[in-house]
């Protein structure tokens, strides 16, 4: 299917508004919720689990909305960067404390070695968001 045919298909799906989750590029999906409202979603696999990440909303009326070409470019850029989401942060903090999920081997508890008794994921998220805002960034996509 050519890019023009795909663009027409996207416009048609969004105009109809039937709830749809359709693939338009490797790992890039259009999630239609209602007439005129749709989101671009990237699906990926991390630690053997399928996850998805919203990269933006569909549209052409505003610079922050993504059409098909913009969504493909964003998907390519997202694949180049390491993915950081709440589950990634949770796993990073869990690994610091030696927690293992599923059938993985237990990890060493690095935080016990530096006398950190209480640390919650919200501390890490708050610190991360503060660092982003200090640099004038609103979201991870603008990094």
CB 98 within 8 A of CB 104: no
**pLDDT confidence tier of residue 76, bands split at 50, 70 and 90:** confident
The tens digit of pLDDT for each residue in 15-63 reads: 998 999 999 998 899 999 999 899 999 988 776 788 888 888 998 888 8
Per-residue pLDDT at 50? 85
Helix axes 68-80, 3-16, angle to 10 degrees: 110
- Taking the whole predicted model, whether its pTM rises above 0.75 is answered as no
Asked whether the predicted pLDDT for residue 83 surpasses 80, the reply is: no
Asked whether the predicted pLDDT for residue 142 surpasses 90, the reply is: no
Fold designation for 1-81: Double Stranded RNA Binding Domain (3.30.160)
The tens digit of pLDDT for each residue in 84-124 reads: 555 555 666 666 666 665 666 666 655 555 555 555 656 66
CA distance 85 to 133: 17
Please list the residue range(s) of the chain that carry CATH number 3.30.160.390. Answer: 1-81
CB atoms within 10 A of CB 58: 22
For the record, the structure tokens of 93 come out as 């903090």
Question: Pick the residue with more confidence: 90 or 75?
Answer: 75
CB 52 within 8 A of CB 41: yes
Per-residue pLDDT at 139? 58
């Amino acid at each position: 299917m050519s890019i023009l045919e795909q663009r027409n298909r996207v416009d048609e799906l969004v105009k109809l508004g039937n709830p749809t989750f359709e693939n338009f590029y490797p790992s890039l999906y259009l999630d239609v919720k209602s007439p005129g409202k749709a989101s671009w979603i990237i699906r990926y696999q991390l630690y053997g689990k399928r996850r998805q990440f919203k990269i933006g909303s569909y549209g052409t009326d505003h610079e922050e909305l993504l059409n098909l070409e913009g969504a493909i470019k964003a998907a390519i850029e997202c694949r180049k960067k390491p993915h950081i989401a709440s589950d990634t942060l949770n796993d990073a903090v869990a690994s610091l404390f030696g927690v293992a999920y599923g059938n993985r081997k237990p990890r060493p508890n690095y935080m016990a070695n530096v006398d950190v008794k209480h640390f919650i994921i919200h501390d890490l998220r708050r610190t991360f968001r503060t660092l982003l805002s200090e640099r004038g960034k609103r979201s991870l996509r603008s990094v």
